[in-house]
Amino acid sequence: MRSLSRLGAIATEDLAALHLDLRAPPEHPDRPHVVLNFVVTADGRASFRGRAEIGTRTDRELMFHLRSLVDAVMSGAGTLRVDPFAPVVKDRELQPLAIVVSASGQLPLENRFFRIANRRLVATTYRATEEAASALRHAGAEVLRLGEEEVDLPALLGLLHERGVRSLLCEGGPLLAGALLTRRLVDEIFLTHATRVTAEPGAKRLFESAEPLAGEVHLERVSLHESAAGERYERARVRYSS
């Protein structure tokens, strides 16, 4: 039970000491180090009534902490459409680049994403109309078209790397996470196992993908902590094999 030997109770104030190695992430030749952060219900769902209100305050604090350790934070358009996306950190000088991936380029311009002080990037496709792209630019986002139908994720990560982004935190949602995983672009996952059971029919799971995975994918646990409320916080490396 090597994994459980690492299990330690954690309180909100202890979170700041965790995962500081992300500030000096492993180097990759042509892309940033990519980590996902998700919370799942005890019965394996990543959404509840169309949103991600599954975890406790400690889970949210962990999310804020992870944001403070990386160069860029990324979300899919579906997640932005149901919740504000505002990866703002305490240190005003160190705001991570905020990225949204959207094939259509149709984003709600009233979302907080368009008001935060961070630099903003929308990665979209040639499917996005010029009208949608110019509305995004007008709202303060850089717009990059990378792909015809879907955003070419390796190209996006390559471009971020060229611009000096060494660590990228993806906060979902399931479709974007699935697209990254099928392309073997996820290095680590921070997974909160909530205590809540929702049993909601059709609720999305952590990874949703139209394409099957090539080969096998395994999670190799790095650490596991537990809060007084019984919520568990797992960090795991993603291992791919043929």
Ligand X SMILES: NC(=O)c1ccc[n+]([C@@H]2O[C@H](COP(=O)([O-])OP(=O)(O)OC[C@H]3O[C@@H](n4cnc5c(N)ncnc54)[C@H](OP(=O)(O)O)[C@@H]3O)[C@@H](O)[C@H]2O)c1
Identity of the residue, 151 or 165, whose beta carbon is nearer to ligand X in the bound complex? 151
CA distance 30 to 34: 12
Q: Does 108 bind ligand X (CB under 6 A)?
A: no
CA distance 237 to 21: 14
Instruction: Say how many residues make up the chain.
Output: 242
Q: Does 39 bind ligand X (CB under 6 A)?
A: yes
**Rounded least distance, CB 60 to ligand X, Å:** 11
**Rounded least distance, CB 137 to ligand X, Å:** 16
For tokens 């390796």, the residue is 154
- Residue 222 near residue 236 (C-beta atoms within 8 A): yes
Q: Does 10 bind ligand X (CB under 6 A)?
A: no
- The stretch among 4-12, 43-51, 158-166, 216-224 that binds ligand X (CB under 6 A) is 43-51
Q: Which residue in the set 25, 32, 76, 96 belongs to the binding site for ligand X (CB under 6 A)?
A: 76
CA distance 86 to 80: 10
Q: Which of residues 147-206 bind ligand X (CB under 6 A)?
A: 150-151, 153, 171-176, 179, 204
- The stretch among 15-23, 25-33, 101-109, 232-240 that binds ligand X (CB under 6 A) is 101-109
Q: Which residue in the set 78, 136, 143, 185 belongs to the binding site for ligand X (CB under 6 A)?
A: 78
Q: Does 34 bind ligand X (CB under 6 A)?
A: no
Q: Does 22 bind ligand X (CB under 6 A)?
A: no
